[in-house]
Amino acid sequence: MSDTDSEVTNAYFREAMLEQQAPPVTETGAVKWLRENLFPTWLNAIMTVVALYVIWFILSHIGPWFLNGIWDAGSLSECRAIRDETMGPDASAACFAVIADRWEQLTFGFYPRSAYWRPTLAFVIMLAGLAPVLFGSIPRGWLTFSAVSPFIIFFLLWGGSIWVPVFIAMGFVLGAVAARLLGGVNQIAAVAGAIVVPILYWAFVAIPLAEVVHDLIPIGIRAIPSSDFGGFMLSVVIGMAAIILSLPLGIVLALARASDLFLVNKLAITFIEIIRGVPLIVWLFTASLLLNYFLPPGTNFDLTLRVIIMVTLFSAAYIAEVVRGGLAAVPKGQYEGADSLGLDYWQSMRLIVLPQALKISIPGIVNTFIGLFKDTTLVVFIGLLDPLGLTNSIRASTDWNGIYWELYVFIGLMFFIACYAMGRYSMYLERKLQRENR
């Protein structure tokens, strides 16, 4: 190679390193985020501008209404007088004083003020009872308290004789004893005994026996009828009771529908399809108006308990289909693996199949629970005063006649908090199970 060629080749090589330079402005910081997320294409840029205008339009009208809210007033007319005096008659201002004045009624309904500690304590006990079920870090021995907590909550809310929840709890003990005694005969007989024996005991023995014992040992607190229940307390009582009871019942229905036993399979299919094929409001009217016709004359079956039973059955039918989808998603090899280990049906379901199916079904189950909790507002159509029902009672008074949005915003916010918490717990549980399976 000639010297001339060497000089030409060396001209393309840099003898010193360039100093480090900052990246382009469009590739760092907020400008990069805006370019990639809000303005990546001309169509996205137009949609972003339109969305920002809609957000600004909504906030410009709703923002002053919230920010100028009046909290200290005794009536709607007083709210308007304060607004006219401080902000002018044309100002937009919410009258949140109705919430400050009626928050107890929106929360507890017509429950006696002196007994507010009872539903408050019942709510704390409910959270404590659910803790070992919702969070695995709680000692398993706490499950004993979880099993007892529903009866304590029942006693606190309704009051009366302490022997009523005690003898109702004994029905579950009798069901377990019947299942154990009949388990050696036949699995179907054991399941039937666990269901039939408690029902017969509750229908004919529990209450009369509790009354006899109460006459001998009178222990109890003030009885409060269900007609005094209302507000968010009523929604929580109906919603949480139905959620807790419908999950195990839905799992049993899902296993029954997937069973190879002809009679069990067809009965489960019939129940699920009939319940799912009729709107919830129809079942609520059934619980309110028609159920008494099928009960013995003179029977006074509490309306709130009837609604809880009907909502539980309705939710269980939907949970059954969600769990059945999870069972179908479990690979067939898992069933075969359980058989190869010599496990019987219930052992394979409890130890191998159901844990996987329930993990798959978590989003659907929580979605059903959220919908169920919101559907508790339908009880207003059968005369129960949930939060929406109480708005009519509040507006019927001369002080707050004509107020609307403030009550609905407060009720919507409370339901959003509850439903958002359930959704976040679902995400937490999914992440936890994913980490444990790594």
Residue 7: the pLDDT is 53
User: Rounded to an integer, what distance in angstroms lies between the CA atom of residue 265 and that of residue 270?
Assistant: 9
User: Do 325 and 410 sit in the same domain of this protein?
Assistant: yes
pLDDT for 334: 87
Rounded to two decimals, what is the model's pTM? Answer: 0.85
Residue 3 predicted with pLDDT over 90 = no
> What gap in Å lies between CA 234 and CA 232, rounded to an integer?
5
| Residue-range definition of the domain harbouring residue 234 | 226-436
Q: What per-residue confidence (pLDDT) applies to 5?
A: 55
Nearest Cα to Cα of residue 156 among 199, 207, 107, 116: 116
Last residue of a domain, one of 193, 221, 249: 221
Find out whether 107 and 236 touch, Cβ atoms under 8 Å: no
| Domain count for the chain | 3
402 has which bridge partners? none
Same-domain status, 203 and 236? no
Kindly state whether residues 245 and 171 are assigned to the same domain: no
Q: Do 281 and 427 lie in a common domain?
A: yes
- Domain C-terminal end among 97, 114, 133: 97
| pLDDT at residue number 409 | 92
pLDDT of residue 38: 85
Do both 217 and 273 map to the same domain? no
pLDDT of 373 above 80:
yes
Q: Which of 198, 221, 244 is the last residue of a domain?
A: 221
| 367-379 average pLDDT score | 92
Phi, psi of 214, rounded to the nearest 5 degrees: -65, -35
Residue 367's nearest CA partner among 294, 304, 419, 306 is 419
Both 339 and 311 in a single domain?
yes
Q: Is residue 283 part of a domain?
A: yes
Give pLDDT, residue 133.
79
Distance CA 406, CA 43 (A): 38
In the chain, the percentage of residues whose pLDDT exceeds 90 is: 47
Tell whether 214 is covered by a domain: yes
Q: How would residue 438 be classed by pLDDT, with cut points 50, 70 and 90?
A: low
Instruction: Evaluate if residue 8 carries a pLDDT over 60.
Output: no
Q: Which helix (H) or strand (E) holds 220?
A: strand 220-221
Shared domain check, 273 and 188: no
Q: How many CB atoms lie within 10 A of CB 258?
A: 18
**Same domain (yes/no): 174, 239:** no
Q: What average pLDDT does the chain have? A: 87
Whether residue 68 is contained in a domain is answered as: yes
Mean pLDDT of 167-194: 83
Whether residues 242 and 214 fall in one domain: no
Share of the chain above pLDDT 70, in %: 92
Q: Which is more confidently placed, 352 or 261?
A: 352
Mean pLDDT along residues 79-95: 89
pLDDT category of residue 36 using cuts at 50, 70 and 90: confident
pLDDT, tens digit, for every residue of 307-336? 998 999 999 999 999 999 999 999 988 888
**309 close to 237: Cβ distance less than 8 angstroms:** no
Same domain, 251 and 316: yes
Residue 28 lies in a domain: yes
- Domain CATH number, residue 414: 1.10.3720.10
The answer to whether residue 272 sits within a structural domain is: yes
Domain membership of residue 152 (yes or no) is: no
- What would the pLDDT profile of 233-280 be if each residue is shown by its tens digit? 999 999 999 999 999 999 999 999 988 888 889 999 999 999 999 999
Residue 3 lies in a domain: no
Q: For residues 179 and 106, which has the higher predicted lDDT (pLDDT)? A: 106
Amino acid 9: pLDDT: 55
Provide, for the chain, the percentages of residues in helix, strand and coil under a 3-state DSSP scheme, each rounded to the nearest 5: 75, 0, 20
Residue 295 — pLDDT band, cuts 50, 70, 90? low
Same domain, 325 and 300: yes
Q: How much is the pLDDT for 98?
A: 92
The CA-to-CA distance between both ends of the chain, in Å, stands at 62
Distances (CA, A) of 111 to 37, 216, 326: 51, 29, 42
Count of Cβ atoms closer than 10 Å to residue 248 Cβ: 11
pLDDT tens-place string over residues 128-177: 988 887 876 777 777 888 889 999 999 999 999 999 999 999 999 998 88
Is the distance from CB of 96 to CB of 406 less than 8 angstroms? Answer: yes
E strands, 138-219, in order:
160-161
Report the b/e string of 415-432 with b at 16+ CB within 10 A. Answer: beebbeeeeeebeebeee
Task: Tell me: do 281 and 185 sit in the same domain.
Answer: no
Q: Is residue 165 part of a domain?
A: yes
Average pLDDT rounded to a whole number, residues 169-196: 83
The set of residues, in sequence order, having a beta carbon less than 8 Å from that of 401 and lying 6+ positions away, is: 76, 395
Tens-place pLDDT, residues 410-437? 999 999 999 999 999 988 888 887 765 5
